Structure 1
Amino acid sequence: MAGLFTTHVSDHPTSIAAAVLTDGNRIIVAVIAAVALAALIVAQLLVRQVLAAGEGTAAMKKIAAAVQEGANAYLARQLRTLGIFAVVVFFLLLLLPADDWSQRAGRSLFFMVGALFSAVTGYIGMRLAVRANVRVAAAAREATPEPGQPEKNLTAVSHKAMKIAFRTGGVVGMFTVGLGLFGASCVVLVYAADAPKVLEGFGLGAALIAMFMRVGGGIFTKAADVGADLVGKVEQGIPEDDPRNAATIADNVGDNVGDCAGMAADLFESYAVTLVAALILGKAAFGDLGLAFPLIVPAIGVVTAMIGIFAVAPRRADRSGMAAINRGFFISAVISLALVAVAVFVYLPSSFASLEGVTEAAIRTHGGDPRVLALVAVAIGIVLAALIQQLTGYFTETTRRPVKDIGKSSLTGPATVVLAGISIGLESAVYTALLIGLSVYGAFLLGGTSITLALFAVALAGTGLLTTVGVIVAMDTFGPVADNAQGIAEMSGDVKGAGAQVLTDLDAVGNTTKAITKGIAIATAVLAAAALFGSYRDAIATAVRDVGARATEMNLTMDISQPNNLVGLILGAAVVFLFSGLAINAVSRSAGAVVYEVRRQFREHPGIMDYSEKPEYGRVVDICTKDALRELATPGLLAVMAPIAVGFTFGVGALGAYLAGAIGTGTLMAVFLANSGGAWDNAKKLVEEGHYGGKGSDAHAATVIGDTVGDPFKDTAGPAINPLLKVMNLVALLIAPAVVQFSYGDDASAGVRAAVATIAILVIIGAVYVSKRRTVSMGDEDGNPAERVPSKAATL
């Protein structure tokens, strides 16, 4: 691999300069932008449908209002904190090298746009979810009519509740694909051939905000969830969402700020970053057409997402709610593939020689049909999404053997439950990683001997996966909405009997949909990271050519036999472990504080158990809010500073190896954490349905322990790895020219490199040290709890 960058430079030495946006393609991109706006209109129509449903009893409305207030307050505080960070990065991006000032300004401007769109997507997801959950609970309540009222068909009631929950997710899905596609289209329309450089900022903004929202929301939700389960279920023997548990409101708030807002932002940034990588490589591989075709594919996905969302209509013959959701997903996927085939053969030429801006060298090395390459690559992405959906469902559904095995292991105690869940998570990670790896390699082979075309094929596979994102986001949001609906029903006590069972069944389906969306989000992250890796390679080749350095320099090659590159590979893998450990430890500390507070309330207010006294919900909400915001800094600084430290210390070759190590380890770690957590959660549901002793049994207590271990796995650390990979890839892509310039250019300075590396390393060490110095927050020095924050949650 010593001549790695030399090969790449000769592959398309003039293609970048040659690519422009023709009038015809400009019209196509404008139409795509209009399609993106149409998605936002459809989202508004879905909002009206959801809000038209009834809200239930006064008690249900009061609880829902407390959850809404808590979620709004937390997200507002989080976004204010992230706003400061975004402004700092905005100015730092202005300092990084670019061809001209307009590129620098555009990159910084669209960094803010990407950050804003990511935040808006998350906020919209949370905003509607907290209003929809009470409506789902009210719909389920119809299954248990008042005395003297006629009974309603149970299946019809279940279908109505499910439709409300899924249409809520559909709103978030439409915002995700609409804003992502609209942002990328605007960049291409405004900057044309310079769009790839500007898009780097757009992707970084989306990824950074998503990572912070994922980490912060994940810490909040799982601290409350773990604390509520350990004290309520295990110690006091009361149900999960019993109103006597002081952590219940915080738990329901957490579902919205973590699973709704966090995951919506996460999938938005996956969407945005995949488009960024596809457009960067598309310009190099297909010239002018490469600036438009990668947008056509997700635009088709917008249309098919609308079809898929409305296709999720449960039928009497369905065995469970998953059957309807799977049907909507596969209808969307099949129509997407058919429409992409039409677009490919209408839009692309039959010969690479017809592609403007592609060099003779690239044409000689790949004599195939670009239409076949594009169609097969997109098909790989669509098929990958379908396969991961089925594979993840197998490992996490209550009706499948893995979850049943974990449930059965509960008969021998919590230790075997934990061991069974870990083993299933580890095994499932291998199969998912193999699927993703084979997909990447299959797409790569389509490029023949042209590395540029091969990498573009990988990026196109990512855009193929994007065609399913609208439905995937709807599936994900469905989970926390169903979970919250069950919580509101149980706290109010107004939904009993058959209605309560309807919500329990929907919650179990929601656990599976959340696990599936995490698996597909991971696949999207890997495809985007692999494509960005190719963009990184292109950036290095360009920088090397600009400064006139030799491509065989030790710090420029990614030959893994070189010790500096091997060190980079190991560091990339290590950062994923450190990031995961920090996130899980943050949940552990915050959950400890919640446990202490809930125990204190039960101890000091014995009337809580007989309903003569009310818990102080506001205290727990405040604990989770403070801890989540306090813990944001360390993972964020690690993600940004680690690539800077490696690049300026060991060189761009080692930085490339660092990214490879992070991608490989991150893939396995994210799937392991997501699937083990999802399996533990549904094993608990299985026992609660009456198996192996049912609620209140020793087996139930064992599965609750397993679920609390899995909570930070599946909802904090695991999902946060997705944006982590893309943040690190984008940071590496942005700093690579500077590293080369200060190593071999006219401004070469070992002192500057050493200073930057030292600062980055000290920031990482300081952030980790401060994080490790924190202990479980048990109140003040005298053991007194934090001051109470008046709120609706506190006065329920």
Structure 2
Amino acid sequence: MAGPLPPLQQDQFLSLPLAAAELTTGNRVIVLIIGAVALAALGVAVVLVRQVLAAGEGTESMKKIAAAVQEGANAYLSRQLRTLGVFAVVVFFLLMLLPADTWSQRIGRSVFFLIGALFSAATGYIGMWLAVRSNVRVAAAAREATPAEGEPAKDLTDVSHRAMRIAFRTGGVVGMFTVGLGLLGAACVVLVYAADAPKVLEGFGLGAALIAMFMRVGGGIFTKAADVGADLVGKVEQGIPEDDPRNAATIADNVGDNVGDCAGMAADLFESYAVTLVAALILGKVAFGDAGLAFPLLVPAIGVVTAMIGIFAVSPRRSDRSGMTAINRGFFLSAVISLVLVAGAVFAYLPSSYADLEGVTDTAIAGHEGDPRFLALVAVAIGIVLAALIQQLTGYFTETSRRPVRDVGKSSLTGPATVVLAGISLGLESAVYSAVLIGLSVYGAFLLGGTSIMLALFAVALAGTGLLTTVGVIVAMDTFGPVSDNAQGIAEMSGDVEGAGAQVLTDLDAVGNTTKAITKGIAIATAVLAAAALFGSYRDAIATAVSEVNAKAGEMNLSLDISQPNNLVGLVLGAAVVFLFSGLAINAVSRSAGAVVFEVRRQFREKPGIMDYTEKPEYGRVVDICTKDALRELATPGLLAVMAPIAVGFSLGVGALGSYLAGAIGTGTLMAVFLANSGGAWDNAKKLVEDGHHGGKGSEAHEATVIGDTVGDPFKDTAGPAINPLLKVMNLVALLIAPAVVQFSYGDDASAGLRAAVSVVAVGVIVGAVYVSKRRGIAVGDEGNAERTAKPADPASDPAVVS
């Protein structure tokens, strides 16, 4: 293996030639086959949908509850997508204004921005659509464990396995749509645009990332506001179970699981898939020439095939210790087969010498010693192994059977404060190990490039595509979580699933909490690999722009030297934005949850018959509060993600903007893992106590873990996973504006006044958005919140609504 790269001089750093690659007939055929594989994935998804919908739906009571959840989820997501549609149209026209080599590239970039946004939204919507129909079927399957009088008892293991199979294959549908649409979009761009594909793919990736971030933030605010409000009033104050039908927030809580964990996370993982492909194809064009436009698609295409195998392989056995055993088996089987098939593809497709790669104009790469097949295979293997290690590491810190979660559960014996402290310390520690694993993977891929920085960056991107080979199974694991959670909620609200059947659903829910944490860990790993690769694309964009305007590479604002004060400021700002983004998301949940708490309290107070079932709660009012708040809170985090890179780039220069991205990547990695693992550990510690440990339900220990869980809810399901698309959005915005920054700084139309104006507008938008967000109160009665609370017929008679 070659040693690390030698130090680069500034002129070398910004003088990377571009390859003018075109698709040969052979590569065009390969890309067509890859497109066919993508369509096959969508076909498998249709087969899985039919299998899931063929299962029984249970009792009439269960069907009515499921219908209410379906109605609420559809209403929210439809309103959200209409809102985002207006935003997408605005960005479509703004992208037309950014520099590109030809008008064809500009038009293609904008059109595929809309396609990327549409595919991302479609993936999320399909995930939600099936999940709200699968949850009642999982509950109905578990109900068979407690048959009615006169009916023969069914084997408990068989019942549990059937319920789990329905839930996991629901996730399999979302997984197939994720990999199918992602691969299809990228393949279409390569087929149509060939050498111009990387520039057009920037738009495709941005569309997927932007919509995913909005869906992740909006869905996360909705689901956690309802969840926190339901827990604080229902469990802590009223002492009733989590999904008791007497709690007015239960329907909103179940709706939130679908619009947040299903729709939001599905869109999130789709954009991870799309953006990683974008980065790999941009760098592949330079590093591998013509082959670089096909090979990065070939690896995830293999992942599509192995994902099908992995999804069907998740079939529980009697010898399995838990549901996670079956899921792990499917995951590792998929990973191993992927590695074997990739090895075969590498040696069948790539030449044994860099000199034999067609279309590479960089003489340093063409004359590079070594075997490109070795670089490609090892880089992809690094990504596959990273996914497996992250899966095991996250499972260790979040599974109920492992020591970390059991320690958090024990801390409940001394109160909620120690539960919160134990969860925070666990999250901080686990973030370090995950960051080290990701860092070692990036550095290992980097070393493969030897003395060529472009080969090193392409190796990092290929590691990302290796990780993508597991995405189909990963998405299935993620959707499995909220489906199991919803199934338990429907069962509890209907009262038709008791005893052994209820325990089956509790066990599935605990496994689902772990799978959700695992998918968040792998999602942030893909974000870092994609961001690192996009960072190389960003640098290449600067080099191209500098050569076009004949700027000097040694100019201070072009240098990426971190010792320069302006660049150091950029790095600090990048880290700060991650903190601000997380704080805004958590605060939004806090505000909305406060409104939910007051509304649920009001209903308990004004309708005393709710507790003895003589009166029904008004579920729709809480759903309406969560919907309005989630849509209202979308703007500020979104504007921050888009405007912050613009403000830094036009005010401090492209060098500081590069440092900004580095600061955001480093801080975002640690913050995302910390938030996800802390939240997952708190949730499963609560499950541990509810299973009878440390006093069980109703004990002081239970109350302590419920409080810990409410703290962790916005951590793991709102702020943490939203950092993943945040990093990609900021990288892509920086990549898109870099040529404009150089042009308006050093080109013939350089204008200090224009740069200053853009900077002032961007900063003004950020400050204004944050100011408006902070003006909203944190409890009902503060300015901006009273009107959000659903009011009774006579508002003056309601002491919870204070003018």
- If the length of structure 2 is used for normalisation, what is the TM-score? 0.97
Tell me if 1:269 matches 2:271. Answer: yes
8 Å Cα contact 2:779/2:785 also seen in 1: no
CA distance in structure 2 between the partners assigned to 1:314 and 1:417 by the alignment:
33
CA distance in structure 1 between the partners assigned to 2:9 and 2:302 by the alignment:
36
Q: Which of 9, 12, 15 is 1:7 aligned to? A: 12
Deviations 1:637-686 (A, max 9, x none): 00000000000000000000000000000000000000000000000000
1:23-422 matches, cutoff 5 A: 23-359=25-361, 361-363=363-365, 366-422=368-424
3-state SS, counterpart of residue 624 of structure 2: helix
CA distance in structure 2 between the partners assigned to 1:703 and 1:672 by the alignment:
18
Matching residue of 2:462: 460
User: 1:612–1:742: structure 2 CA closer, same or farther, 3 Å change rule?
Assistant: same
1:713-732 matches, cutoff 5 A: 713-732=715-734
Matching residue of 1:794: none
Matching residue of 2:790: 786
Matching residue of 1:439: 441
Q: Which of 547, 551, 555 is 1:553 aligned to? A: 555
User: 1:325–1:266: structure 2 CA closer, same or farther, 3 Å change rule?
Assistant: same
Deviations 1:769-791 (A, max 9, x none): 000000135278878942589xx
Matching residue of 1:683: 685
- If the length of structure 1 is used for normalisation, what is the TM-score? 0.98
CA distance in structure 2 between the partners assigned to 1:402 and 1:554 by the alignment:
49
The one-letter code matched in structure 1 to 2:11 is T
CA distance in structure 2 between the partners assigned to 1:777 and 1:786 by the alignment:
14
CA distance in structure 2 between the partners assigned to 1:403 and 1:670 by the alignment:
19
Tell me the CA shift for residue 148 of structure 1: 1.1
Matching residue of 2:494: 492
Q: Which of 424, 427, 431 is 2:426 aligned to? A: 424
1:532-551 matches, cutoff 5 A: 532-551=534-553
1:461-476 matches, cutoff 5 A: 461-476=463-478
**Structure 1 unmatched ranges of 5 or more:** 790-796
Deviations 1:397-451 (A, max 9, x none): 0000000000000000000000000000000000000000000000000000100
8 Å Cα contact 1:344/1:371 also seen in 2: yes
User: 1:66–1:362: structure 2 CA closer, same or farther, 3 Å change rule?
Assistant: same
Tell me the CA shift for residue 395 of structure 1: 0.1
8 Å Cα contact 2:146/2:497 also seen in 1: yes
User: 1:533–1:613: structure 2 CA closer, same or farther, 3 Å change rule?
Assistant: same
- Deviation larger for 203-212 or 355-364: 355-364
8 Å Cα contact 1:218/1:712 also seen in 2: yes
Matching residue of 1:792: none
Deviations 1:712-746 (A, max 9, x none): 00000000000000000000000000000000001
3-state SS, counterpart of residue 16 of structure 1: coil
8 Å Cα contact 2:252/2:626 also seen in 1: yes
Matching residue of 1:636: 638
The one-letter code matched in structure 2 to 1:74 is Y
User: 1:541–1:128: structure 2 CA closer, same or farther, 3 Å change rule?
Assistant: same
User: 1:96–1:514: structure 2 CA closer, same or farther, 3 Å change rule?
Assistant: same
Tell me the CA shift for residue 10 of structure 1: 4.6
CA distance in structure 2 between the partners assigned to 1:316 and 1:2 by the alignment:
57
8 Å Cα contact 2:15/2:543 also seen in 1: no
Matching residue of 1:520: 522
8 Å Cα contact 2:251/2:619 also seen in 1: yes
8 Å Cα contact 2:66/2:132 also seen in 1: yes
The one-letter code matched in structure 1 to 2:313 is A
Matching residue of 2:772: 770
Deviations 1:485-504 (A, max 9, x none): 00000000000000000000
3-state SS, counterpart of residue 560 of structure 2: coil
Tell me the CA shift for residue 366 of structure 1: 3.0
CA distance in structure 2 between the partners assigned to 1:788 and 1:754 by the alignment:
51
8 Å Cα contact 1:365/1:450 also seen in 2: no
8 Å Cα contact 1:4/1:557 also seen in 2: no
3-state SS, counterpart of residue 555 of structure 1: helix
Tell me the CA shift for residue 8 of structure 1: 4.2
Matching residue of 1:593: 595
3-state SS, counterpart of residue 558 of structure 2: coil
User: 1:237–1:365: structure 2 CA closer, same or farther, 3 Å change rule?
Assistant: farther
Matching residue of 1:793: none
8 Å Cα contact 1:2/1:557 also seen in 2: no
Tell me the CA shift for residue 357 of structure 1: 2.4
User: 1:313–1:4: structure 2 CA closer, same or farther, 3 Å change rule?
Assistant: farther
The one-letter code matched in structure 2 to 1:786 is A
Tell me the CA shift for residue 194 of structure 1: 0.1
3-state SS, counterpart of residue 64 of structure 1: helix
Tell me the CA shift for residue 7 of structure 1: 1.6
Matching residue of 1:624: 626
User: 1:750–1:271: structure 2 CA closer, same or farther, 3 Å change rule?
Assistant: same
Matching residue of 2:707: 705
8 Å Cα contact 1:365/1:448 also seen in 2: no
CA distance in structure 1 between the partners assigned to 2:606 and 2:477 by the alignment:
42
CA distance in structure 1 between the partners assigned to 2:746 and 2:194 by the alignment:
31
Tell me if 1:16 matches 2:54. Answer: no
3-state SS, counterpart of residue 145 of structure 1: coil
User: 1:457–1:608: structure 2 CA closer, same or farther, 3 Å change rule?
Assistant: same
Tell me the CA shift for residue 231 of structure 1: 0.4
Matching residue of 1:530: 532
CA distance in structure 2 between the partners assigned to 1:366 and 1:444 by the alignment:
15
Matching residue of 1:562: 564
Tell me the CA shift for residue 358 of structure 1: 2.3
CA distance in structure 1 between the partners assigned to 2:786 and 2:738 by the alignment:
51
Question: What percent identity do the matched residue pairs reach?
Answer: 86
The one-letter code matched in structure 2 to 1:228 is A
CA distance in structure 2 between the partners assigned to 1:385 and 1:365 by the alignment:
33
3-state SS, counterpart of residue 144 of structure 1: coil
3-state SS, counterpart of residue 748 of structure 1: coil
Tell me the CA shift for residue 65 of structure 1: 0.1
Tell me the CA shift for residue 362 of structure 1: 2.0
